[in-house]
Structure 1
Amino acid sequence: MAHPAVSAFLRALDQFDRSKTRTEIFRLFCEMAYCALAKRASPFADQRDRLEAAYLACVGRFPKKDDVRRMPEMMALAIEAIAGGGIDFIGQVAAEIGALDAGLGQFFTPYEVSRLMAEMSLGDAREQIEAQGFITVSEPAAGAGGMVLALADALESQGFDPARHIWVEAMELSRSTFHMAFIQISTRGIAGRVINGSSLSLDVFEQAYTAAAPVFYGLHGDPFAKQKDAARRAAEAEEEARARTRELLRSTAPAQAHTVWQCD
């Protein structure tokens, strides 16, 4: 049975001009919501300009202004449901209207299943959080962000704020589901970065920081500072070893060693 907020959202979809399908309207809603949320959170002026232009382009797809005016009402329904936790709101809406593409491996996972998997994967996060202040999570196939939401709920049940104690790197290949994931992860108050790209080829087409990212950075700085420092030191050590090898090859030692071996 659909969540009451999902049912209300679906009724709102049915009030739009019938020249577009519910799936088309929903995807435009998700792009507009993504543009509005990502623009507010973006620290980059050029990205904010691109998001504003994309938003206006979506508005231009609706010839009837009443349809555009319905968008904030639908956004309010989504935000209230997602922010409260305990639901994969956008994922459930997408499943209800058939907006997921099974050919791309897109299937709706009920929230209860995602929550069970999150509880099993997370375990007791207290020790790690007390040691370094936060945990990091990588989601290479985020979909609409349902697993990330469930993980945030599981972490919150242990007494930790997802904006302060978790950093998520979520990647999704499909542009439309990338929008869905960003809406949900950002609205739920989770710190991190959502990426439209391929986890296999590592191509990145678009990315955006969530609204909680500045809160996290203010408390902890770069979540990957230790890894970056270790990588820098490893690269410096490798370059130093190469320099020693080049110096050795330029010296007379190899020729002298060769002479000694020939004499023996």
Structure 2
Amino acid sequence: MSRKSAERKFNYTADEHQRELVSLLKQFSYGHHLDTVFRDFVEMAALAISNRVDRAQYDAREKRYMEIVGKYKPEEVKRFPAMFAALTGTFEVRVQGMLDGSGVGLTDVLGETYMMLGISNDRCGQFFTPYAVSKLMAGLLGGDVAARADAQGFARVQEPACGAGGMIIATAEAFHEAGVNYQQALHATCVDIDECCVHMAYVQLSLLNVAAMVVHGNTLSMQVWGHWYTPAHVLGGWNQKLKMRRAWDALRGLLDGGERDELEGDGGVPVPPPVVELVVEPEPETAQVALHEHADVAVLERPVDVVDTAGLADMFEEAVGAQPHANAFFEIVDQLALF
């Protein structure tokens, strides 16, 4: 998307909070490069969120936070909390719009703002996928994946070049449209080589209460420089859930060698319960809005008929499985972050 196209889209779709965010950013332009201010803002927001839940990395991240603050005058520093409040406000508007069906749904707020301001690295080929395209792609796969998540406890999504997290946001919206609570049934592992993108993705997924590990790394060279856990990941105990899922997948892989059918025929292999049990209303015609235990974001939970089909999700998994390099990288990420 060109800058002019991004500006037209922004003028048409931005809410008052997003406009306030851009206005506050531009107030720095007299003494700072806009690119630097934006990068500092998203990093400070990421550091502030992380330091509320990830005590293991607190000292280094608090030091980095104070280094960034030291670059600005006291009156300028006061704008950063105001910008974060504006960003939070726009997500509140969009989540509420998703819930009430008013037509104002989720979007890649920071990615769109980044492109609209013209501070992306065009020379390196840095262009974010328009959210409409991400939503279309998520919609093609989301129903099958969400149904499996509802049946199995949760689904994992792995994004090797996440940008600002637009594809994961679109997947969360697809889960909602399929009647599945993404705050309980979705876990994302996101990777990007650009540290600014890592911070943007982390902040947005944190505000949407998506359980995720956001990794600063390179999926091609298989290097990992850092990782960020969203509050939903930490408070939801997802490290343990992912370890349990890995153990179960390993056991299932052993049984799939032929012993599984034999033992199941004798009734000798009990099927373990789902890692996460989703709460659904007992009557199909009812639906209610509920708050996640550790979230300030309301989500809509409603029942969904789970059908065990070999659909687009199977095709997607087979395609990913055919790329051993990507699988090996995410295996490294899991080993570094979970164990």
Q: Which has the higher helix share?
A: 1
Report the 3-state secondary structure (helix = DSSP H, G, I; strand = E; otherwise coil) of the residue aligned with 1:205: strand
Equivalent position amino acid for 2:127 in 1: F
Aligned partner of 1:34 in structure 2 is: 46
Q: CA RMSD in A?
A: 2.3
Alpha-carbon separation, structure 1, partners of 2:60 and 2:31:
27
**Distance change in 2, residues 1:160/1:214 (3 Å):** farther
Give the alignment partner of residue 159 of structure 1, picking from 176, 179, 189: 179
Equivalent position amino acid for 1:38 in 2: S
Alpha-carbon separation, structure 2, partners of 1:91 and 1:67:
23
- Does residue 79 in structure 1 map to residue 88 in structure 2? yes
Aligned partner of 1:245 in structure 2 is: none
Deviations 1:230-257 (A, max 9, x none): 659999xxxxxxxxxxxxxxxxxxxxxx
Alpha-carbon separation, structure 2, partners of 1:111 and 1:229:
35
Alpha-carbon separation, structure 2, partners of 1:131 and 1:232:
19
Equivalent position amino acid for 2:32 in 1: K
Q: Judge conservation of contact 2:201–2:214 (CA < 8 Å) in 1.
A: yes
Report the 3-state secondary structure (helix = DSSP H, G, I; strand = E; otherwise coil) of the residue aligned with 2:237: helix
Deviations 1:51-102 (A, max 9, x none): 111111110010x211100111100111222353412110011001112112
Equivalent position amino acid for 1:91 in 2: G
- Normalising by structure 2, we get a TM-score of 0.63
Q: Judge conservation of contact 1:115–1:151 (CA < 8 Å) in 2.
A: yes
Give the share of equivalent positions with the same residue, in percent: 32
Q: Judge conservation of contact 2:217–2:224 (CA < 8 Å) in 1.
A: yes
Aligned partner of 1:223 in structure 2 is: 242
Give the alignment partner of residue 119 of structure 1, picking from 139, 151, 168: 139
Equivalent position amino acid for 1:37 in 2: I
Q: Judge conservation of contact 1:81–1:87 (CA < 8 Å) in 2.
A: no
Aligned partner of 2:20 in structure 1 is: 8
Aligned partner of 1:192 in structure 2 is: 212
- Which stretch shows the higher mean deviation, 33-42 or 8-17? 8-17
Post-superposition shift, 1:43? 4.4
Q: Judge conservation of contact 2:146–2:155 (CA < 8 Å) in 1.
A: no
Give the alignment partner of residue 52 of structure 1, picking from 62, 65, 81: 62
Aligned partner of 2:312 in structure 1 is: none
Q: Judge conservation of contact 2:150–2:180 (CA < 8 Å) in 1.
A: no
Post-superposition shift, 1:229? 5.9
Q: Extract unaligned runs of 5+ from structure 1.
A: 236-264
- Normalising by structure 1, we get a TM-score of 0.80
Q: Judge conservation of contact 1:41–1:211 (CA < 8 Å) in 2.
A: yes
Report the 3-state secondary structure (helix = DSSP H, G, I; strand = E; otherwise coil) of the residue aligned with 1:124: helix
Map 1:102-181 to 2 at 5 A: 102-181=122-201
Q: Extract unaligned runs of 5+ from structure 2.
A: 1-8, 96-105, 255-339
Aligned partner of 1:258 in structure 2 is: none
User: Radius of gyration: which is bigger?
Assistant: 1
Q: Judge conservation of contact 2:182–2:210 (CA < 8 Å) in 1.
A: yes
Alpha-carbon separation, structure 2, partners of 1:18 and 1:130:
51
Aligned partner of 1:23 in structure 2 is: 35
**Distance change in 2, residues 1:134/1:213 (3 Å):** same
